[in-house]
Structure 1
Amino acid sequence: MNNWISALADLQQQGEPCVLVTIIEERGSTPRNAGSKMVISATRTYDTIGGGHLEYKAMNIARDMLESGKQDTQLQRFSLGASLGQCCGGATVLLFEPMGQVQAQIAVFGAGHVARALVPLLASLPCRVRWIDSREQEFPEHIPSGVRKIVTDEPVDEIADLPAGCYCIVMTHNHALDLELSAALLKRNDFTYFGLIGSKTKRVKFEHRLRDRGISPQHLQRMRCPMGLSEVKGKLPVEIAISIAGEIIATYNAHFGQHSARAEPITHLLPSSRRSHATT
């Protein structure tokens, strides 16, 4: 059987959901190693937690979780007795962790330096990415799996096609385009996350112009600018990209399933970013 680490990476790359099963505690006469893991997909298993009736029951539980789409981790305690075909007492505790479910649909507007560092990070997460820019030449030759490249002269028009609850990241080469995208996103206002690259000064200017367009203060509060985790320091594109990816992860962990404008603003969940992201 394949090693569980390799299997987990392969299934993640393919976008196939699975459950990671781990032995947390083992007390019984039949030795099993605490920390042993196996990966269970809808059709296959990878590695082992020791075989036998316990592993069979774990497979059934994991596949029930996959079929129902459950996202929460579960702890299950199994008494080692007649129910598991054991002759002696004891107990095993298993942890079931759903993996590989798509957590976020993400739209990245812009293909500059930070975007080129950010998109591969997002592609390695349980996310699906639309990467949008008008400049074909700015995209790298290799587009990561799970990323859809969209070249269009009218990036703002793409907003109408975004799914409700989308994570929207605006980092184009043009401040006027950033403003138009921001206005369209805030008017729609059904995103889970909206981040705009730039400084606090840029935010103040954009807030003034967006208010003139009829955007309410409540909607403006949902715009994350500057974006990214303030704890991640640095000005290099990859450093900024990592801070933004960290914020995306924090948001989808907090908001999974809340795909509506009623989701709590990210500013209530994260410390205010102190970094000035002035370039893309």
Structure 2
Amino acid sequence: MERGTLEQHEIFLSGLRVRVRSSCTRTNRYLRRHWSAAKSPLVRPEAACDIEVIAADESPRIVLDGEVVWSDGEVEDLVAGFEHRLYRLALARHKRGFAVFHAAALVSHGSTVVFSGPSGAGKSSLALAAVRRGWKYFSDEFVVTDGQRVWGWPRAIRFDPPGPGARRPDYLEGLDTDDDAMASQPGDAPPYYPVPGHALQRAPSSAHDVRFVRIERGQKTAMARISIGLGLKYWTEASFFVPKVSLGALVGVNRTWRASWRHPDELLDLLERT
């Protein structure tokens, strides 16, 4: 049974304030656990919207500012439908004054490190390992800049579960994971790790202090500096849309690398020594 008590939530995605009313039990649980870190704005919100998630058995639907925007699924699909609409809305609202990247961002000793790479490169695995060793967390998937500052959308970390018969990596052991908030059936969705409050980065970082690492999995762990031009190319490739703000502050001498990694801690050790 997905229909539950009507709850109200508020989350902040950079310049967007999202007010949510939901009668869907699973959506409410998803919002409480996976967006709990986004209850306070990192930057001043410049726009707002209202979303209603209605868990009616015969006509489940999602309403955005009074208009039905999703009604073509079952009650069990409401969480996935809500998340999809939330991302589309937030990205659309950020196209004018921001750039948004498919990347992970964390802060170590005051320095922000951004990990970029295709899906499966290990952004979330590195984010998990970094949080466990005391780094502050911005995001494992959405990194934002206005050209001068950098921050993230602090969703819970999502990672791919081991395949059938595969051993769970040691850097995932002991984590408080939630593997059913996105699934209509248990095990259908990747697990999540809700980042504890003390591990969150609470203020934007300067774009001039960012270190950018283009990552891939490999048989050994190694890092090599790359040119500013190649770093800018990688930043642009990671953008969800054509950036309308300057990315010049994000690249600089000795601030861009390409890296392969075998175990997250090996790469994090290299970064902490560099």
Bucket of the pairwise TM-score, normalised by the shorter protein: under 0.3
Structure number with higher helix proportion: 1
What TM-score do you get using the length of structure 1 for normalisation?
0.23
Tell which structure's C-alpha radius of gyration is larger.
1
Of structures 1 and 2, the one scoring higher in RCO (CA 8 A, sep 6+) is 2
